[in-house]
């Protein structure tokens, strides 16, 4: 549990149309830092340009193509392939969610997000995430790791970023437990807390057994913003 007498920070790469747990981590934070200057995965897709959605009762990937270039490319430097990738993504969303209960009400805003004009995947993802947060009344301070020019790596880098925004509680995803050095957080007087999305099952269009871990788009089109705010993202204070 997060101690709200302290200042909390979440840190994560700007993922593409991420799942509910990503937004819950933001919701738990006072400050959220987009880790935008990490290296792009050279082979295959990653959470930065791919997410899982539901179609005809089965999961599928919604993927956007990015140029990775030669050598090492940071996420905030990675650009889209030229072309109508966003139109294709919009059509895929329409085909899979067009008959969902809240599609007609919420699709125009989502379409607007996908038509956001930028050549950079990180910029697109950050705009998507911050605009959805506004819809959910999630009020935090957003920062980007590239603002701080921290040269350290791994846990040392996280600690430097946390200190840069004067926070003393770090909210981590459960996966971070596999590589983070707990003793270093203790030495730096930083509380390490793991974010966990509460159980939140809802009726999914054309699907009998609930599938979790999908893009927030699935929840937006199936239950809408108001229920999300009531059940998950209600006022904290």
Q: What is the DSSP letter of 133?
A: H
Q: How many other C-beta atoms are found inside a 10 Å radius of the C-beta of residue 54?
A: 23
Tens digit of each residue's pLDDT, the chain (237 residues): 455 557 999 999 999 999 999 999 999 999 999 999 988 877 766 899 999 999 888 999 999 999 876 667 899 999 998 789 999 999 999 999 999 999 999 999 999 999 999 999 999 999 999 999 999 999 999 999 999 988 888 899 999 999 999 999 999 987 666 667 889 999 999 999 999 999 999 999 989 899 999 999 999 999 999 999 999 998 664
User: What does DSSP say about strands 79-80 and 66-67: parallel, antiparallel, or unpaired?
Assistant: antiparallel
Beta strands per DSSP E along 155-200: 169-172, 191-194
Whole-prediction pTM: 0.93
Rg (CA), the chain: 18
CB within 8 A of 70, min separation 6: which ones? none
Both tokens of 9, joined, read 């920070």
Q: How far apart are the first and last CA of the chain?
A: 15
């Amino acid at each position: 549990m997060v101690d709200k007498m302290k200042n909390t920070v979440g840190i994560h790469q700007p993922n593409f149309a991420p799942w509910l747990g990503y937004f819950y981590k933001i919701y738990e934070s006072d400050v959220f830092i987009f880790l935008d200057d990490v290296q792009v995965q050279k082979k295959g897709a990653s959470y930065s340009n791919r997410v899982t959605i539901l179609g005809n009762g089965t999961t599928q990937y919604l993927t956007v193509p990015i140029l990775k270039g030669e050598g090492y490319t940071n996420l905030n430097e990675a650009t889209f392939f030229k072309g109508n990738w966003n139109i294709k993504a919009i059509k895929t969303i329409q085909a899979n969610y067009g008959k969902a209960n809240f599609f007609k009400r919420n699709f125009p805003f989502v379409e607007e997000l996908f038509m956001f004009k930028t050549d950079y995947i990180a910029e697109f993802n950050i705009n998507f995430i911050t605009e959805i947060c506004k819809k959910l009344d999630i009020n935090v301070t957003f920062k980007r790791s590239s603002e701080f020019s921290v040269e350290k790596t791994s846990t040392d880098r996280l600690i430097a970023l946390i200190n840069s925004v004067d926070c003393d509680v770090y909210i981590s995803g459960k996966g971070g437990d596999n590589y983070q050095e707990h003793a270093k957080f203790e030495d730096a007087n930083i509380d390490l807390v793991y974010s966990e999305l509460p159980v939140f099952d809802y009726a999914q269009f054309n699907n009998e057994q609930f599938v979790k871990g999908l893009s927030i788009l699935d929840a937006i089109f199936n239950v809408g913003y108001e229920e999300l705010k009531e059940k998950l993202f209600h006022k904290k204070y």
